[in-house]
A and B are shown apart, each in its own frame.
Chain A
Amino acid sequence: MLARLNLALLGLLAPALAFAGDAISATEKQPLNLHAIGMFVLFVSMTLGITYWAAGRTKSASDFYTAGGGITGFQNGLAIAGDYMSAATLLGLTAMVYAKGVDGYIYMIAFFAGWPIILFLMAERLRNLGKFTFADITSYRLNQNKVRTMAAVSSLTVVCFYLVAQMVGAGQLIKLLFGLDYTIALFVVGALMMVYVTFGGMVATTWVQIIKACMLLAGGTLVMILAMSQFGFSFETLMSKAISVHSLGEKILFPGSLLPDPVTALSLGLGLMFGTAGLPHILMRFFTVTNAKEARKSVLYASGFVAYFFNVILLMGLAAIIIVGQNPDFFEGGNIAGKIIGGGNMVAMHLAKAVGGNLLLGFLSAVAFATILAVVSGLALAGAASISHDIYARVIRKGKATETEELRVSKLSSVGLGIVAIVLGIAFEKMNVAFMVALAFGIAASANFPVLILSMYWKGLTTRGAVAGGYLGLVAAVLFVLFSKSVWVTVLGNAQALFPYDQPALFSMPLAFLVTIVVSLLDNSDEAKAERALFDDQYVRAQTGFGAAEASAH
């Protein structure tokens, strides 16, 4: 069965390769990159092999959602790093440092600083209380129907926006890197994602993320070392040259246009930090490890890798200012004051080519593609779990669905999400989707995080409070972004933004907290009293792990 699917997939790739030939003439598209394709095919065959192996080990629902809870802290740390660092990290942040200097570094510290907080406040409680989805925790002592539905709605919203942003990015990137048509690229990504998730579940997804994390760390490090060797490995030399050639000059040392005002800066810091702690596909990774000990270790390793890689990216971006920015080969018409070939996001790729030739460019392209696959697979799995575990098994079937039925629904959902991702990816091709990532983090910080953290820490939380605050956080984050400049003006073409900031978290997150707390406090129903009474047992389980979901034996 799986062997046939492997063949079907190769069949899918083959016409893609053939198609690319006649499409090279189209603008923006690069000539077929054989090194990249070779290395990518190697990666795909390796991950499909793993999927085949994983499929044999994916029998129960727990295998499918959480790899049977048997992942070690080190493996999970790598997988989290692989899940968290998307192509936007590698390409977007390098481009940001290249264009704006230290602004990019400020973004990176905000992307990083959420991790210690997740460790101190959440990691062990997540593992001790959760089973498959974070709604297991928020609905632990609250009304299953209402709270799970709310958590599933906001999770799916986050997953969809994040997925579309990744897909559109993937299509553009693959068009540039591999010379494949946008639509075909989307089908390849969507199909591979469906195969990994449907057949291999969390085991395959985890290994795809681990392999990708290793490739990313190795590729980035190699490019950074080769680039730094041109500056005698001296940060001072690198910096002085970067300042002397950059059009902004000394200004690259100062916070600039990305953080134009205090509100944006604070809102960004808040949204990135607490958004990380509310992303469903990241939270889900905490249920894959054996116990709270391993959950803590996961964060230690993951944050170490993330911190290291962000610093690599800073050096890559700064080196690119000199190595790429001064080389006419990388500019349209050879004019270094003009546009970079392929757009700003290609800076990291040009740097790889400049310091390591076509082979390194090919490797880094394959890394970028692998990165996209790993991230979309994690997202699809988290989305499928929300549909099958929360909505189907708990809300619709009231916990009476058999494991086989639940598994079937989750596999169908993964396929469904794959199709949705491809369709929306095609629909949004021409659109600037940068706002979608801001939106995903904004919703995660405003709808998921407040209810999740209160459910673990506050006895007074009730169903009414959680539902009111959760939905309000979701709606508020969506509306703030809709009325902001990035959607209202840039996408919808209105003259004036109704909401002056692009980052919603500073407003929507406190609002969600406030409403959740006030509504809970005012709730004097009998249900609310019962829910508060159940907190004490939950508290002991959260603290000690007694009664927590155990790893299934393999």
Chain B
Amino acid sequence: MSSTSSQSAVYARIRKNPRFAELVSKRQGFASLLSVVVLTIFYGFFMVVAFNPKLIGQRLSEGSYVTVGIAAELFMFIFFWVLTAVYVKRANGEFDEITSEIVRDAAKEVK
């Protein structure tokens, strides 16, 4: 397993394993989805800052000092962090189980 060629053989086996394709598409899909959510909200917010700054300072309700901007930013701080927690939970659980299964199988078959 230390030499490059046997490592390459393991890599080739892993690639042939249908579970590998499943892992990649599941994890990649999940990570991409979360990234798109974060990027859309973040740049959406920056677009508002850039092109409609008046909206940022608008108060949520009469007499309240919580503005659209402050509420949106607090929401982003909390929501983005919750998304990282969701990703870590799924990646360290479900995805890592598939990964270790794939690696175990491939290493076993290549002697």
Interface residues, chain A, with chain B CB atoms under 8 Å away: 102, 105-106, 108-110, 112-113, 115-117, 119-121, 124, 235-236, 239-240, 243, 250-251, 253-255, 259, 261-263, 265-266, 269, 273, 292-293, 296-297, 299-300, 303-304, 307, 310-311, 536-537, 540-541, 543-547
Contact = CB atoms under 8 A, between A and B. Distances in A.
A303 B70 CA distance: 19
17 contacts: A105-B69, A117-B35, A120-B38, A121-B31, A235-B65, A253-B56, A253-B67, A261-B50, A262-B50, A262-B51, A266-B43, A296-B88, A296-B92, A303-B81, A536-B15, A544-B23, A546-B106
Q: Please classify how large the interface on chain B is, using the bins under 10, 10 to 19, 20 to 34, 35 or more.
A: 35 or more
Given A102-B67, A543-B23, A117 B49 contact: no
A254 B31 contact: no
Contact of A239 (B65, B74, B84): B65
Interface in B67-85: 67, 69-70, 73-74, 76-78, 80-81, 83-85
* Secondary structure of the B contact surface, majority rule: helix
A113 B42 contact: yes
A250 B45 contact: no
Contact of A311 (B20, B42, B77): B77
A269 B42 contact: yes
A302 B2 CA distance: 34
B103 A124 contact: no
B84 A119 contact: yes
Nearest to B28: A543
A296 B46 contact: no
A546 B103 contact: yes
A300 B50 contact: no
A116 B77 contact: no
B44 to A, nearest CB: 11
Contacts of B46: 110, 265-266, 269
B80 A116 contact: yes
B47 to A, nearest CB: 8
Contacts of A121: 31, 35
B11 A541 contact: yes
Nearest to B7: A547
Contacts of A243: 65
Nearest to B35: A120
B34 A255 contact: no
Given A269-B43, A269-B46, A120 B34 contact: yes
B82 to A, nearest CB: 10
A259 B49 CA distance: 8
B49 A540 contact: no
Given A115-B84, A116-B38, A124-B91, A546 B31 contact: no
A307 B83 CA distance: 13
Contact of B53 (A124, A255, A304, A547): A255
A262 B39 CA distance: 17
B57 A300 contact: no
Contacts of A292: 96
A239 B69 CA distance: 14
A300 B88 contact: yes
Contacts of B20: 540, 543-544
A95 B15 CA distance: 53
A262 B66 CA distance: 24
Contacts of A547: 7, 10-11
Residue of B38, B54, B66, B74 most packed against chain A (CB within 10 A): B38
Residue of B51, B99, B102 most packed against chain A (CB within 10 A): B99
A168 to B, nearest CB: 30
B99 A106 contact: no
- 10 smallest CB-CB distances across A and B, nearest first, come from A239-B65, A262-B50, A254-B57, A253-B57, A265-B50, A120-B31, A255-B53, A540-B11, A269-B46, A537-B11
Contacts of B27: 543
Given A254-B53, A255-B56, 12 more contacts: A109-B42, A109-B73, A116-B80, A261-B50, A293-B92, A303-B80, A307-B77, A307-B81, A537-B8, A543-B23, A544-B23, A546-B11
A262 B103 CA distance: 49
Given A113-B76, A235-B65, A250 B11 contact: no
A541 B84 CA distance: 23
